Structure 1
């Protein structure tokens, strides 16, 4: 079984994972004229990506949800998200990339729990900014880009970059709170526990789908874990596990490389029949029907 899974993994032609430089944080300025702007394939992000449209229009699909981004729009994408560009019209935009390690190493508290609540999967990852909001974020982003180009031996360089990054990050918090009237997420033990759970879930959901496993790993009871997670994210631990598993199942099914049975094995279900019942329970359709009805289009990406 283990070897079979390994063989399956080798056969899975995942959407291209866009390579990023070694830096844990970076900023790029893109335009429609960039030679590498259109790779004609979707790819999976390996970092948080913030996109600020300066001019023009971009049709961007993230995890199979299409959106059109115009001037003064901003988008936030998660690590693991599949995204592709299907159309670009005289576009220019900034792409800010920061990895989980950067947040951790700099002691910046943007936990998975906090980011989930701010940009949860059933919420829009897109904001249309006012002129003032756009100018503020653009100014702070360009300020950060300038700091990132400073010589490596600049005194207190890490602190300078960290503070510039926080300006951009807190711009997002302010805009999000203004749009959704969310109360600030408290930096407490509940948020920390939820973040640890979400980190574990990201690493182990293909093999482990029971709340008991994650509760044991965190040395707490399943009931306590679900209660805390729901207070922070609005969903129980079990609901989040199912959400992540179903999302990955959709990715594998729409890739049209694995059949339903192989997707079932790749996600460590005991058999394809059980996987089919599980998938239909949460989507209303069978895996085979979903696979036939969906496909990852080979379109432009950046």
Structure 2
């Protein structure tokens, strides 16, 4: 397909046959089409989304390839050109689309807050989220979307914008350490961190040794440690432990598994080692955490 100057939201909806729910130029999406052919796009709207399954491959303006898989955050902005190279059939996620007119419709002070959020300050198009951040965004999107589906046409005009602001503000808070610290990272460091965060979100249960990720990235453990420390002011092992801890809390709070089963699922050698890990990072034992919850 030849490059086109831009697509309106309506053109995207009609062309991609997306399931959607709308109010003026604000829509939210849950699915992508099964049938797909590569196409260029220079959006006249802004879109941010998380991927739950499948894969989206994007070519940016410089010719670089960016892959969004489960646990990835995607941001499209106006005035940038992208080529969507691939969307695997059955890819799912949650996303918001809106144009500048929608932002301008807010009061001046709210527009200023939106303008200074991740919508304008996040430089990357695709970010591999830490498991804990992906979990938070998944819950956030689900809660907002559920509320949106309950609104009547009469309620939409005054309630939808409030829910949209909640989604942006909460997302902005979760993405703080991806946007602010990365302003001081060069392109190579940004790519390295994004790749590590994505790998860790996929493999943190099976692999909690930093050497595994350094090997996957074809760099030394020291190089990985220095880059993460410089840009994110933390360490690779802390990121891995945070992901394990978040998963443990989710399982303890919401699953019907007992502590022994959870320890086994998270691949701890014993209940004792799991309890020791959990108490070290939370100050309480798994059993106390469950009872307190």
**Structure with the largest fraction of helix:** 2
Higher relative contact order (CA 8 A, sep 6+): 1
Q: Normalising by structure 1, what TM-score?
A: 0.47
Q: Normalising by structure 2, what TM-score?
A: 0.48
